[in-house]
């Protein structure tokens, strides 16, 4: 069914997006051999192979072959470098990436007694913010298959079913070493710090066009240079890049909701003064233009 709905715009990591209220399913297809293709997501992602083979290069791990039946769980804003050694037009390499909104993860973790259930599963494992390669986890793979099937089928019960299955998937992931990226989201770690206060302020004032590093530094009671250094050391990206990533995330939500809105209107509502700058930032983060993203969305 996905094959009937997808629109080919590129031969390398062509993306089709299926949207839900608090989750996003992206299906990628690559039709020719390629190397060093970069992907980064602004939300926690579980990626699963469907057909073909990839060679994955992830921070903190040796390069590894990625085959159907395997999954990789990626923290927010961590880069994947991917090689496609076998992709052809007749036998494309296919992979799905399921992104789950941090608020949904917070909700499920809040319900789930992880002190008992998680630590009994992995009582000798230390939390780290790294990717996890899940090779033989049939429960996770089966759930991802069911979630993908439900996304694509678009029936009346879709949102209810996805809610239940994604809650179960989060719990299953909490019972694996992938719990690191679920429990170490920066929005939760720094709640009581000056940087945490700034993050909260950014999220509450995204559409404020006067949101500047100087303003944020004052909120953190730091000099501009010290704030910039401290922010980057804490989150791994600059304040401006973080602001833009949050705005682009918000713009994707608007594109899904406001079907008839012009891209310039989306840019304005997302807090960008300049549509050209919005387009450049969107393409930098999403590997496609806002217009291409709009066309790739299938409800």
Question: Do the beta carbons of residue 19 and residue 6 sit within 8 Å?
Answer: no
Give the CB-side neighbour count of residue 283, counting CA atoms within 13 A.
10
Q: What is the pLDDT of residue 26?
A: 87
Q: What angle do CA 127, 132, 138 make, to 5 degrees?
A: 120
Q: Exposed, middle or buried, 48 (CB in 10 Å: 0-12/13-18/19+)?
A: buried
Q: What is the DSSP-derived secondary structure letter of residue 83?
A: E
The answer, as to whether pTM is greater than 0.85, is: no
Positions in the chain short of pLDDT 50: 1-9, 113-128, 181-192
Q: What is the pLDDT of residue 129?
A: 52
- Name the token pair of 219: 């909120």
Q: What is the pLDDT of residue 72?
A: 85
Q: What is the pLDDT of residue 152?
A: 81
Query: How far is the C-alpha of 204 from the C-alpha of 278, rounded, in Å?
Result: 20
Location of structure tokens 């500047």:
212
CATH numbers and ranges of domains, the chain? 2-183 (2.60.120.810), 190-298 (1.10.10.60)
Q: What is the pLDDT of residue 216?
A: 92
């Amino acid at each position: 069914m996905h094959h009937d709905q997808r629109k080919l715009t590129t031969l390398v990591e062509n993306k089709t997006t299926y949207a839900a209220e608090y989750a996003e399913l992206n299906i990628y297809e690559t039709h020719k051999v390629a190397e060093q293709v970069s992907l980064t997501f602004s939300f926690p992602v579980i990626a699963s192979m469907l057909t073909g083979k990839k060679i994955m290069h992830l921070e903190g791990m040796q390069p590894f072959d990625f085959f159907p039946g395997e999954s990789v769980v990626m923290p927010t804003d961590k880069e994947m470098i991917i090689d496609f050694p076998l992709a052809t037009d007749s036998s494309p390499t296919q992979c799905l990436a399921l992104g789950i909104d941090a608020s949904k993860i917070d909700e499920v973790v809040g319900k789930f007694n992880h002190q008992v259930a998680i630590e009994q599963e992995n009582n000798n494992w230390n939390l780290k913010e790294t990717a996890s390669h899940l090779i033989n986890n049939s429960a996770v793979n089966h759930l991802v298959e069911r979630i993908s099937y439900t996304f694509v089928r678009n029936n009346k019960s879709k949102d209810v079913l996805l809610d239940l299955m994604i809650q179960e998937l989060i719990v299953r992931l909490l019972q694996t070493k992938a719990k690191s990226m679920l429990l170490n989201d920066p929005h939760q770690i720094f709640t009581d710090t000056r940087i945490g206060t700034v993050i909260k302020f950014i999220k509450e004032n995204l559409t404020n066009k006067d949101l500047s590093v100087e303003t944020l530094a004052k909120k953190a009671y730091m000099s501009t240079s010290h704030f910039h250094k401290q922010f980057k050391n804490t989150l791994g990206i600059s304040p401006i890049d973080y602001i833009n990533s949050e705005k682009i995330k918000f713009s994707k939500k608007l594109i899904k909701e406001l079907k008839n809105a012009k891209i310039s209107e989306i840019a304005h509502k997302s807090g960008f003064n300049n549509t050209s700058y919005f387009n450049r930032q969107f393409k930098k983060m999403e590997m496609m233009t806002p217009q291409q993203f709009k066309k790739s969305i299938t409800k």
